[in-house]
A and B are shown apart, each in its own frame.
Chain A
């Protein structure tokens, strides 16, 4: 019988006796991952004696349960959490930088090197500088006035009027 069992487990690294020992160890909960792998290989062979049916069912059940758990839960939930945390960090970082970089309203003047922050005084200084620019068109008007035809004719005729 042992010879037959040896034949069945030829492709595995364990014999039927070793498998029995490992099964006993397995039900007691002391097997390592490697030992469980060997057991699984042994039990997955076709044509095993009936006494291993219960063990096959047990090992097969756990194996299929593992297969179900792997593809469904891990790849979906964990990456989602990871990407959500990355996105949250990005958005948080952007808001932080924006809040740090946004310019605060300014209202100040320096008069002879002295800082003035009184809003009325600052606005008065601003208006004065604008007034200086606005005075420009008057200069243009004065210049063009000199070249008005009427004036030129009058100036030229004044030579003959004897005044």
Chain B
């Protein structure tokens, strides 16, 4: 192999190592499609907070979406969660009247980040909330901080 070719390979390898790996942490999940498809629609509220904006909570990424009165979106979200559930740890699941009411999934760590999916649907299914979190903290600490009763 020529020296210039070797140098090119070395350069590419170092560039790949230098890339911030957490950039793609959420993109490999099915729920990322939910944010992409429904995020900017009417009747939907989508929030994204990252970096220093989340200083108080020790999170590195917070994404949430609240969808009102859209049963098709509900079906789509549940399918996405079912797919993302493969290889994930189920922290909590509540099924009400045969329907998934609440689920909290702990996804496999990526780039030293703990990743969580939180889902809740009201009993009527009218309001669906989906949250995705990334943090370096332990899962218990994140949930205690966020979900403690007010």
Contact = CB atoms under 8 A, between A and B. Distances in A.
Contacts of B64: 125-126, 129-130
A153 interface: no
Interface residues of A, number: 37
B139 to A, nearest CB: 14
Nearest to B133: A130
Interface stretch (A28-36, A52-60, A95-103): A95-103
Q: Which 3 A-B pairs have the closest CB atoms?
A: A105-B51, A129-B64, A136-B102
B67 to A, nearest CB: 11
B63 to A, nearest CB: 9
Interface residues of B, number: 47
Interface of B: 7, 10-11, 14-15, 18-20, 22-23, 39-53, 62, 64-66, 92, 94, 96, 101-102, 104, 118-120, 123, 127, 129, 131, 146-150
A94 B18 contact: yes
Contacts of A105: 50-53
A97 B18 contact: yes
A136 B149 contact: no
Contact of A113 (B14, B40, B92, B150): B40
Contact of B131 (A106, A133, A140): A133
A143 B23 CA distance: 40
Contacts of B39: 110
